[in-house]
Structure 1
Amino acid sequence: MESFVDFTNRCQGRDQLFRATQYTCMLLSYLIENKADKKKLVMKLKQLESSMSSGRKMFRLGNMVHALVAARRTAELPEVVPRLCLTASHLSRALYFVCDAVLWLRSIGLQPHVDKPKWHTWATKCYYCSLLMNLARDWYEIYWRLEQAALEEKTKENFFWQKQGEELYDVKSDGLHTFLCQLFQILKRNPPLLLDLVKNLCDLSGPLDTLGIYKTSPGVIGFCGLLSSLVGILTLASPHLKLKQ
């Protein structure tokens, strides 16, 4: 009980709970929207989803400062690739929070003349850029570990150059199989990296749909958002599962 109270007392904890509720409502309303006897329930779910979204915008009002502080911290990382990726991610997220705050001011009537579609597009682009930088960092971590695994094995060097024709094709197939096995083992041995990768990939569904890059359904977005939220809740409740920056 004390751990739950501690979790909900944190702003990030409340945001993740609101986020999980928001995407659960989106998923449920999509699954039952075609049922004639569920129209009232669908309306209630959509209203709750909208309320959760508005509540999250209010919780995020101070997050721009947190993102800038995080960017300053990651700018001092010793490794070049994580430093560039994480700093760019935090700066993009700070810009996203600025756009998000403007949209919130419009939603409560303080800035009624704000061009909502334009600011929403800007916010989505900033969020999308932040996710791409996070995924680039994840791939760097995976690539580094793959290189380490290759150095430890010290076998099968120059193997592809010694075969031709069908034999070369078979080797490439084996090489792909080996790569996938190594990737699986790396992610299995590094739960924080796996969870971070899953979360970032799930979060991509929303921006890809909004920007028209890859259109999908509210059901897919709701499912991916719910899964991402559950991962976020897990990493907040168990900090050792969060990928270190």
Structure 2
Amino acid sequence: MDSYVKLASLSQGRDKIFRTTQYACILLNCLIHKHGSNKELAAKLKHLESNLSSGRKLFRLGNTVDAVQTARRNVQISDPVLRFCLTAISLSRALYYICDNILWSGAVGLGDIDKEKWSKRCNHYYFFSLVVSLGRDVYEVVQLMKEEVLVQKRQASKSINNLENNRAQREFDWIARIKSKAFLVLLFQIVGNNPPVLLDIVKNLCDLTLPLDKMGICKTNSGVVGFCGLLSSILSILALMHPALKLKA
């Protein structure tokens, strides 16, 4: 209960709780329609999902300023790749929030807007931020693999110094061949041993299905959208509740 109260006290936490419930409704609605049962419940879930979506848009009204401030901080990062990725992610999210706010204003009757046009822009910015986020994940994995290879090279060098030159060279070549064949094993080992990286990759891949579906690039169904959205929301909540699981800049 204390963890829930702490989560609900955060603006991001409230948004994630709403998001989790929203995609749970979408998934349940799909399952109900699939089995053709309880149409009344399906209608209620649809109405609840719509209200949760509107509530989330209201929560995000101030997120544009926060995203711009985050971008300004990310410009100071020393690593050029991380600096580019994190700054681009923050700026694309700022543009996404602007489009989202315009959609919200139209939904509540504050203005007459082209919903289709702004929704398309919103999905484009969201898609771009997720692609760059996955690029950042790949960069993190590459850096971790480089560190692991350096460690293995040092260990191999120590063993070489303790052996005769010819025999040591043959053994070193054999180790190199084994390493090339074990690339995927090393990759999965590194990702598995770094929960923040693994969590971020899975979360971004799940989120990527949402704009892909809305833009018509990779059409799925409401069940897939609901499941992927629900899973990514749960992982986001885990990262909020346990900072050690959050990928650091």
- 2:147 is aligned to 148
Q: Which moved more, 1:82-91 or 1:29-38?
A: 29-38
RMSD: 1.9
Question: TM-score, normalization: structure 2?
Answer: 0.88
* Residue equivalent to 1:70: 70
What is the DSSP-based 3-state SS (H/G/I as helix, E as strand, rest coil) of the residue aligned with 2:12?
helix
Distance 2:233 2:114 in 1: 29
Q: What SS does the aligned partner of 1:34 have?
A: helix
Higher gyration radius (CA): 2
Structure 1 position 82 matched with structure 2 position 86: no
Secondary structure at 1:244 match in 2: coil
Number of the residue aligned with 1:127: 126
- Written as runs of structure 1 = structure 2, the 5 A alignment for 1:214-225 is 214-225=218-229
Deviation at 1:175, TM superposition (A): 3.5
**Structure 1 runs, 4 residues or longer, greater than 3 Å off:** 34-37, 155-159
Cα deviations by residue, 1:151-208 (Å, 9 ceiling, x for unpaired): 222368777x9xxxxxxxxx79x845x1221112111221111111111111001011
Give the whole-Å Cα distance in 2 for the aligned partners of 1:158 and 1:115.
64
Alignment partner, residue 168 of structure 1: none
- Per the alignment, residue 165 of structure 2 pairs with none
**Aligned counterparts of 1:89 and 1:222: Cα–Cα separation in 2:** 24
Which range moves more in the overlay, 12-21 or 139-148? Answer: 139-148
The SS at the match of 1:204 is helix
Change (3 A) 1:201 1:157: farther
Corresponding position: 1:240 with 2:244: yes
Equivalent positions of 1:23-42 (< 5 A) are 23-42=23-42
Letter in 2 for 1:180: L
Alpha-carbon distance in 1 for matches of 2:64, 2:173 = 50
Identity of aligned residues (%): 50
Residue segments in structure 2 that go unaligned for 5+ positions in a row = 157-170
Displacement of 1:232 after TM fit?
0.6
Which letter maps to 1:120? Answer: S
TM-aligned CA deviation for residue 210 of structure 1 = 1.1
Q: Does 1:118 align with 2:117?
A: yes
Instruction: Give me the whole-angstrom Cα distance separating, in 2, the residues matched to 1:157 and 1:226.
Output: 48
Q: Give the Cα–Cα distance (whole angstroms) in 2 for the partners of residues 208 and 157 of structure 1.
A: 46
Report 1:11-26 matches (<5 A).
11-26=11-26
Is residue 2:54 matched to residue 1:54? yes
Q: What SS does the corresponding residue of 2:41 show, helix, strand or coil?
A: helix
Offset, 1:226: 0.4
State the TM-score, normalizing by the size of structure 1: 0.90
Is 1:186 matched with 2:220? no
Q: Which residue of 2 aligns with 1:98?
A: 98
Instruction: Give the equivalent residue in structure 1 for 2:160.
Output: none
Residue 72 of structure 1 aligns with an amino acid whose one-letter code is R
Give, in angstroms, the shift of residue 35 of structure 1: 3.5
Alignment of structure 1 residues 140-179 onto 2, 5 Å:
140-154=139-153, 175=180, 178-179=182-183
Shift of 1:7: 1.4
Question: What residue is the counterpart of 1:164 in the other structure?
Answer: none
Q: 1:153 to 1:220 in 2, by over 3 A?
A: same
What per-residue deviation string (whole Å, max 9, x for no partner) do you get for residues 106-147 of structure 1? 110111x20000000000000000111111110000011112
SS in 2 for 1:41: helix
